[in-house]
Amino acid sequence: MDVPFDVTIENGLFFDGKGSPPAARHLGLRGGKVAAISEAPLPRGPGTQVLDARGCWVTPGFIDLHTHYDAEVELAPSLSESLRHGVTTVVFGSCSLSLAIGTPEDLADQFCRVEAIPYEVVRPMLDQRKTWSTVTEYFEHLDTLPLGPNVSSFLGHSAVRAHVMGIERSLDRGVRPTEGELARMEEILREALDAGYLGMSVMTLKWDKIGGNRPIRSRPLPSTYARWSEYRRLCRLLRERGRVFQGVPDVATKVNIVMFMLESVGLLRKPLKTTIISLMDLRADRLLYRLAGLGARIANTWLGADFRLQALPEVFDLWADGIDLVVFEEFGAGAAALHLTDPADRARLLRDPAYRAKFRSQWRSKLLPKVFHRDFNHSEILSCPDERLVGKSFARLAEEEGRDVVDVFLDLVAQHGTALRWYTIMGNDRRGPLEDIIRHPDAIIGFSDAGAHLRQMAHYNFPLRMLRLVKDAAREGREIMPVERAIQRLTAEIGDWLGIDAGRLEVGAQADVVVLDPGGIDGDVDRVSEAPVEGFAGVVRMVRRNERAVRTVLVNGRLAVQDGQVLPEVGTTRGYGRLLRARG
């Protein structure tokens, strides 16, 4: 007698994640795996859980390849904000940041300011819970957590550099690592690759600054102090193992994007899997996404590279509390304000005439490189103690008052601090270029920053927003790509490139399954609200929730989300997800 299925998913339109045309199929799940995919109805046993997917799409779980869940997974391993949107695999250790190795103080100082996560939550958590001291032990620790989705990780170069050199030396431009220190970095990376890390992440953008209250506060991250020869030495190991080099280029100057492309080149050698952020239609530079896309095409087509530009398939919008927004780290005057943690000290600085002159000069400079548009016409005040200002832009207020817009902005921030909340759009605001980006052959879909910038971004549901874009175009008689190709871009294409067992629905594969109601993939996926962050007492984050779109999510064959709601036992009992190690 056949062993009955644990779960059957019946009558759905089935997508395998590999780009095959969809077809009506029934799925049988057993022991956490896909056990059957059938045109005919499947037998049920007395204990079989039956899910009717009539009128719905049945897809593999989505993969988020760029998150900063490193801290949240310790406090709330359900990672429910991604899980509820059908994301069943998340990757962290991005942007040179990782909790895999280092002291609690060093790690908190590197992580919290950069990712806008409360220091007062993360530092005590690390002091209390960090029991691991090696990269192998960190993965062993992750394996013990009651995970909601599957997790995988890069090894962060900043964490390794600070650990090996000592954080003060790692942040000194005049200090180069010794041969012994470089050898030790190689040894740690080799250990990480043996343990199954996806690869290594680095940072070359000097926006991202050290937090905490030590004298090193406001210096750029350790990885930015490395010469390219240091990266290249570590990349040799990644190339040998077929692992991934993830980087943040200096998007302000944009010059070293070429260095990442050249590192990936495979002429006369094995290509290096390389991915950087980001392919985006920036308001500040409408040409950049075209140039980056062209460079990637040349590198991959003519130079034998294996190079991918991470791309977010939606409008890239931002919320700010006063001047607390990462884009102000882009220029000296903005970083000087963010260096100050005391509100009164910051207000005094913002009112200082000499400081204002410096801020105004840098804000409007045609010579200084920029990624943020720095146009106060593109702003909307959402809340303020002075309710008369709500709904207006800073530019409109300046026009009404007959004053310089920079003075208006700095006056309001000095007066109201973080009680002044406002909104802007940084890029991907034009539909045509956004459609070009998501179908670019050298784009890899992702870059949500999930788990970071809690009050500033809300990209957790990017797979649904991409499907909505594709679906709307088809309804208008245009085709960006078939739905099956869009699902492939969000699932198997990512898993295969990263080298993890995720993103496919085939017999023997892990049963990470999403049941989507296509009728719910509509304008509601853009609706924004705020919600408490599980495990972060009193902290709220920006979210886009659309319960009608996601009918059901299963991780490892276990029901985790029903009718858009994460089941209460997820993250509190035996883990649903598992640690995914890189193949080989």
Please report the DSSP string for 242-310 in residue order: T-EEEEE--TTT-TTHHHHHHHH--TTS---EEEEE----BTTBTTHHHHHHHHHHHHHHHS--EEEEE
> What pLDDT digit, counting tens, does each position of 556-577 carry?
999 999 998 999 999 888 899 9
State the average pLDDT over residues 265-284: 95
* Cα–Cα separations (whole angstroms), residue 123 to 83, 111, 129, 327, 449: 26, 10, 10, 24, 20
Average pLDDT, the chain: 95
Residue tagged 């990442």 (tokens): 260
CA distance 375 to 229: 38
CA distance 323 to 341: 12
**Number of other residues whose CB lies within 10 A of the CB of residue 403:** 12
Cβ–Cβ under 8 Å, residues 486 and 470: yes
Return the DSSP state at 224: G
- Domain locations in the chain as residue ranges: 319-425
CA distance 319 to 456: 4
Kindly state the percentage of the chain with pLDDT values over 90: 94
> What pLDDT digit, counting tens, does each position of 409-433 carry?
999 999 999 999 999 999 999 999 9
| Tokens linked to 392 | 């207006």
Q: Is 294 exposed, middle or buried (0-12, 13-18, 19+ CB in 10 A)?
A: exposed
Nearest alpha carbon to residue 317 among 276, 391, 373, 395: 373
CA distance 325 to 323: 6
**Number of other residues whose CB lies within 10 A of the CB of residue 143:** 13
Tell me the pTM: 0.96
195 phi and psi angles, rounded to 5 deg: -75, -15
CA distance 183 to 573: 41
DSSP string, 108-125: HHHHHHHHT--HHHHHHH
* Cα–Cα separations (whole angstroms), residue 215 to 15, 109, 121, 167: 54, 11, 21, 11
What's the pLDDT at 255? Answer: 77
Reported confidence tier of residue 370, pLDDT bands at 50, 70, 90: confident
What's the pLDDT at 440? Answer: 97
CA distance 457 to 448: 9
Query: In 3-state terms, what secondary structure has residue 13?
Result: strand
What's the pLDDT at 191? Answer: 98
> What pLDDT digit, counting tens, does each position of 503-558 carry?
999 999 999 999 999 999 999 999 999 999 998 988 999 999 989 999 999 999 99
- In this predicted structure, the answer to whether residue 457 has a pLDDT above a threshold of 70 is yes
- In this predicted structure, the answer to whether residue 194 has a pLDDT above a threshold of 80 is yes
- In this predicted structure, the answer to whether residue 215 has a pLDDT above a threshold of 70 is yes
Cβ–Cβ under 8 Å, residues 464 and 547: no
- In this predicted structure, the answer to whether residue 382 has a pLDDT above a threshold of 50 is yes
What is the end-to-end Cα distance of the chain in Å, rounded? Answer: 37
E strand or H helix at 325 = none
Residue tagged 């963010």 (tokens): 338
Rg of the Cα trace of the chain? 24
What's the pLDDT at 1? Answer: 39
- In this predicted structure, the answer to whether residue 353 has a pLDDT above a threshold of 50 is yes
Q: Among 92-96, 178-182, 426-430, 475-479, where is mean pLDDT lowest?
A: 475-479
Nearest alpha carbon to residue 514 among 15, 1, 136: 15
CA atoms within 13 A on the CB side of 334: 22
| Tokens linked to 47 | 């204990």
